[in-house]
Homo-oligomer: A and B are copies of this chain.
Amino acid sequence: MTTQCRYCPLLRKDAFVRMSKEEIEFMQKFKAGELTVEPGTPILMQGSNAPQLFTVLSGLGIRDKMLENGQRQVINFVFPGDFIGLQAGVLGKMGHSIEARTHMRLCVFNRSEFWNFFKNHPSRAFDITWLAAIEEHFLGETLATLGQRTAVQAVAWALVRIYQRGETLGMVTNNQMELPYTQRDMADALGLSLVHTNKTLAKLKERQLASWSDRTLRISNLHALAEVAVTSLTEPPKRPLM
């Protein structure tokens, strides 16, 4: 029923650090099962103390946070290979929610066994910290985007990062990839209004930099787009896979 870790489709993706046979077997011991969810399903809820941690096997989701006045901030977009639930796993409480945007398959780990990672396999523990550091790094960049980039720069930046992420996961064919989010999601991610986000996307399309419609993102000149985004195009570093 459940895929054996050694056959995990993610193992072969560029995005990830290779895993040793021994590591794969170790992970297998912790795999409690698989979870399959449909678009729109909440996976983890802000404020909850989830008993489980997940690695996204396939599909896309979104991580967001509600303010007390109902405003919504999208923290980031969740892609295959993302390890989710760490906050609840460590702090006992999620600071945000995670919801599926497409059909998703998740690898399930029990939090009760989380401690064993640290106890029995220090290098895997290190990898968890590694993931946390990557996340922190990315959030820092996002902060700089919301704080310092103009709308055009911000949208360009987001598209570049998403596209790069897609590339390392083999989701890009012919300069295009599926991107099943709404403009509202993007607006809430960048702290822009829906209308302005729409107009900004139109501008990028007009300038022949990127087009995003019908759930598909098309980027012909990544370099030029990155220029607009005030970013340099460095290859995203490989990340550990849990």
Contact = CB atoms under 8 A, between A and B. Distances in A.
Interface residues of A, number: 49
- Number of identical monomers bound together in the oligomeric complex: 2
A38 interface: no
Nearest to A115: B126
Contacts of A191: 146-148
A126 B125 contact: yes
B123 A122 contact: no
A128 interface: yes
B68 A230 contact: yes
Nearest to A139: B139
A90 B130 contact: yes
A136 B131 CA distance: 11
B148 A73 contact: yes
Interface of A: 65, 67-69, 71-73, 75, 86-87, 89-91, 95-96, 115, 118-119, 122-123, 125-126, 128-130, 132-137, 139-144, 146-149, 188-191, 230-232, 237
12 contacts: A67-B149, A69-B230, A71-B144, A75-B140, A90-B133, A91-B134, A119-B122, A122-B125, A125-B125, A132-B136, A147-B189, A148-B191
